[in-house]
C-alpha cells in the first residue's frame, strides 16, 4: 500500500456535498482515509466565478500512480464534471498532490503536483493532517511551504 495525498475542490452546486460524495467514492480504492477541514476559498486564475470549497485527503492505496489518476478522473466524470476552460467552475476537482515520496512525470500526470506549493487552498488543508510531510522535490516541510506564501498567493476566506 502507498500513502497518497489528494486535494479536492468544488464550486458548482452543493460544493460541500460534492466533496463528501467524492470522498465516499474514493474509499472504494483508498483506505485509512483522513480528511482535513473544509475551507472556503476565492477562485484563482479566473476570478469571475463562485467561491470554492477545498479540502485535502490522506490515505493508502494499492493503485499505481497512473491507475490512481484514471480512478480520480472516473470519479470526476461520474460526478458530472464538465471541462469548461482552464481554472473554470468545477463540480469536483481531485488532484494527486503526493504519492509517497515519488517523483513522477508523464504527459498526463506530474507528482508532486507542480504548483501545489504556490497555493494556500492546497497547503492549508494539508496542515490539518500532515504538516511535517517533506516535499520530495523542494525538500521542505508543508508547514514551511505554507509560511513562505506571499499575500497574493492566499485565497482562503
Task: Report the alpha-carbon distance of residue 117 to residue 3 in Å, rounded.
Answer: 19
pLDDT in tens, 101-147: 999 999 989 999 999 999 899 999 999 999 899 999 999 999 999 99
- Number of structural domains (the chain) is 1
Domain containing 63 — which CATH number?
A: 3.30.70.560
**pTM greater than 0.95:** no
Q: Which of 126, 155, 122, 123 shows the shortest CA–CA distance to 43?
A: 155
Going by the DSSP 8-state scheme, the letter that residue 87 receives in this structure is: T
Q: Is the peptide bond before 112 cis (omega within 30 degrees of 0)?
A: yes
Instruction: Give the structural domain span for 80.
Output: 2-153
Q: What is the mean pLDDT of the chain?
A: 92
Amino acid at each position: 500500500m502507498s500513502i497518497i495525498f489528494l486535494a479536492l475542490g468544488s464550486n458548482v452546486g452543493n460544493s460541500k456535498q460534492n466533496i463528501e460524495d467524492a470522498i465516499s467514492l474514493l474509499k472504494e480504492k483508498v483506505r485509512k482515509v483522513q480528511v482535513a477541514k473544509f475551507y472556503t476559498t476565492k477562485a484563482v486564475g479566473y476570478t469571475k466565478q463562485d467561491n470554492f470549497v477545498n479540502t485535502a485527503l490522506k490515505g493508502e492505496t494499492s493503485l499505481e500512480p497512473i491507475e490512481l489518476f484514471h480512478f480520480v478522473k472516473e470519479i470526476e466524470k461520474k460526478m458530472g464534471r464538465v471541462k469548461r476552460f482552464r481554472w473554470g467552475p468545477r463540480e469536483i476537482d481531485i488532484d494527486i498532490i503526493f504519492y509517497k515520496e515519488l517523483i513522477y512525470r508523464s504527459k498526463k500526470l506530474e507528482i508532486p503536483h507542480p504548483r501545489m506549493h504556490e497555493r494556500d487552498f492546497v497547503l492549508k488543508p494539508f496542515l490539518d493532517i500532515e504538516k511535517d510531510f517533506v516535499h520530495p522535490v523542494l525538500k521542505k516541510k508543508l508547514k514551511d511551504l505554507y509560511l513562505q506564501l506571499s499575500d497574493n498567493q492566499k485565497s482562503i476566506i
